[in-house]
Structure 1
Amino acid sequence: MDFVEVRVLAPRELADILVAELAEVGYSTFEDNDEGFCAYIDEDQFAADAVTEIMSRYEGQGELGYEHRVITRQNWNAEWEKNFEPLVIAEKVSVRAPFHEARPDLQYEIVIMPRMSFGTGHHDTTALMIANQLDVDHQGKRVLDMGCGTGILAIMAVHLGASYVLAVDVEPWTAENAADNALENNVQDKVEARLGDITALEGEAPFDIILANINRNVLLDDMGAYGQYLKSGCPILFSGFYEEDLALIRAAAEQNGLRYGSHRTQNHWVSAIFYQA
């Protein structure tokens, strides 16, 4: 299935509110830009009237507007090839496409072919998650990557020593892309890509580490399950939400037996580490 990109023009003080509003009607992925942000939704779930109605609530509070387009599989490939530049995270991790030159001077390298999946490291949440991963002991650990996108966090986990990573996503092409990227990075024997949501974990033993870079609403909806699938004393890394949502995420996590550890911020986005009590 193709998806729709909604490019929103909005001042910074309204962008966060509009992201939350769009998340309520099904938008699951957001990317900031200099003029506002882009929001993404499956084509069959897109309703222009719903976006117009949300925007109308904030008339008179700054320059507002939006436009949308359908992005097909073929067009997406062209888009990311045109815009995907090599990236360095925390001065240790190189993230590049197969057509970029390698960086042997850096400690870790991840090669990503995004296709129709999200998560190249260019978005603040992915970069924040990787920075937090660098501070977590993965050696010999069994890891869960929920909402895996391209599989970049799963691949990073193996580079950091994880013995097994279950990478789960709700989109069929995303699960396929994660598996392909695992192969591209020679970690296919340690990464299992699985299609599904939190219910796909039924019967799984608790994990040593959970990575969940999704969005605020999904994190809140699934918070009760995370504790069930995380070993006592072990870390869970969250991202996909703004600074002003951290208190909400923290309250929900603590209500479900998770203890706050630390967090990082970048351009108003957050990645936080919690621990199973």
Structure 2
Amino acid sequence: MDFVEVRVQAPRELADILVAELSQVGYDTFEDNDEGFCAYIGEGDFDNDAVAEIMSRYEGQGELGYDHRVITRQNWNAEWEKNFQPLIIAERVSVRAPFHEKPAGIEHEIVIMPRMSFGTGHHETTALMIENQLDIDHQGKRVLDMGCGTGILAIMAVHLGAKEVLAVDVEPWTVENAADNAAENNCTNIECRLGGVEVLEGEKPFDIILANINRNVLLEDMHAYAALLPTGRPILFSGFYQEDLSKIEAEANKHALAYQSHRTKNNWVSAIFTKL
């Protein structure tokens, strides 16, 4: 399956509202630009009428418009290779492609070939999750990475000493990409598995759970995550806005997950909860 990119032109104060609206109809990846932002969805899930209806609600509130295009796998690869820049997170983690020069004096180095998967560290949610991971003891731990994308968080977990990692995603090419990136980073203890929360049935508990997906999936599947987390163990959530943190916390409380802390960047959030 290919992706549809919806390019929205909107004033900054309206862009965040539109991102929130689009996230409610299946868009789960967004990229800011000078004119507004781009939103991405699988081609089979794209509904132009739904986008038009959302945009019509805000007519007259500034210069507003949108267009869309299908991004094939080949075009996606060319786009990210052209635009993907190396990144340093928290002055401790380097994220680069194989064709970038290796930086000096960095504690953790991650090499990523994104292809059609999301998660290079450039989006706020990925970077925030990595920053939170740096505060968590991974040594010898069993880790679950739900919505793994490129596998960057799973690879980070191994860098931090995780004993084994299960990386799960619903898209076949994403699972393939995550496996390739795990191999590129010599992470032989990462298993990449295709599916959603249903593939966790029968799994033994995890010491750490990483879930960078979107608000609706987190709310729907949180009970399954909580059931696999022993008392005192952390779960890291991201993929939602600061105004949604209260909803995440309310659902977490139903499943004995207690809020500990959160980080924010450009209104995106990554929060740490602990199983009671």
TM-score of the two chains, using structure 1 as the length reference: 0.97
Q: Who is 1:241 aligned against?
A: 240
**Cα RMSD between the aligned structures?**
1.0
Distance 1:15 1:250 in 2: 25
Bigger mean CA offset, 176-185 vs 221-230: 221-230
Q: How big is each residue's C-alpha offset from its partner over 1:175-213, in whole Å with a ceiling of 9 and x where there is no partner?
A: 0000000000000x2100000011110100110000011
Residue type at the aligned position of 1:215: N
Q: Who is 1:23 aligned against?
A: 23
Distance 1:129 1:50 in 2: 31
Residue type at the aligned position of 1:91: E
Distance 1:220 1:31 in 2: 23
Bigger mean CA offset, 123-132 vs 244-253: 244-253
1:162 aligns with 2:165: no
Distance 2:215 2:32 in 1: 16
Secondary structure of 1:144's counterpart equals strand
Q: Who is 2:271 aligned against?
A: 272
Q: Who is 1:68 aligned against?
A: 68
Q: Who is 2:100 aligned against?
A: 100
Change (3 A) 1:34 1:255: farther
Secondary structure of 1:199's counterpart equals helix
Distance 1:142 1:257 in 2: 20
Distance 1:33 1:119 in 2: 17
1:45 aligns with 2:48: no
Structure 2 stretches lacking a partner, 5+ long = none
Secondary structure of 1:192's counterpart equals strand
Shift of 1:6: 0.5
Q: How big is each residue's C-alpha offset from its partner over 1:33-66, in whole Å with a ceiling of 9 and x where there is no partner?
A: 3322211111122121111111001111122111
Shift of 1:232: 1.0
Shift of 1:90: 0.3
Q: Who is 1:250 aligned against?
A: 249
Residue type at the aligned position of 2:263: R
Bigger mean CA offset, 23-32 vs 158-167: 23-32
| Sequence identity percentage | 78
Distance 1:12 1:210 in 2: 33
Structure 1 stretches lacking a partner, 5+ long = none
Residue type at the aligned position of 2:34: D
Q: Who is 1:175 aligned against?
A: 175
Secondary structure of 2:231's counterpart equals coil
Bigger mean CA offset, 39-48 vs 94-103: 39-48
Distance 1:27 1:242 in 2: 14
Q: How big is each residue's C-alpha offset from its partner over 1:16-48, in whole Å with a ceiling of 9 and x where there is no partner?
A: 222222122222222223322211111122121
Q: How big is each residue's C-alpha offset from its partner over 1:193-248, in whole Å with a ceiling of 9 and x where there is no partner?
A: 00001111010011000001111111111111111011111000111111111111
How many corresponding residue pairs? Answer: 276
Distance 1:220 1:10 in 2: 29
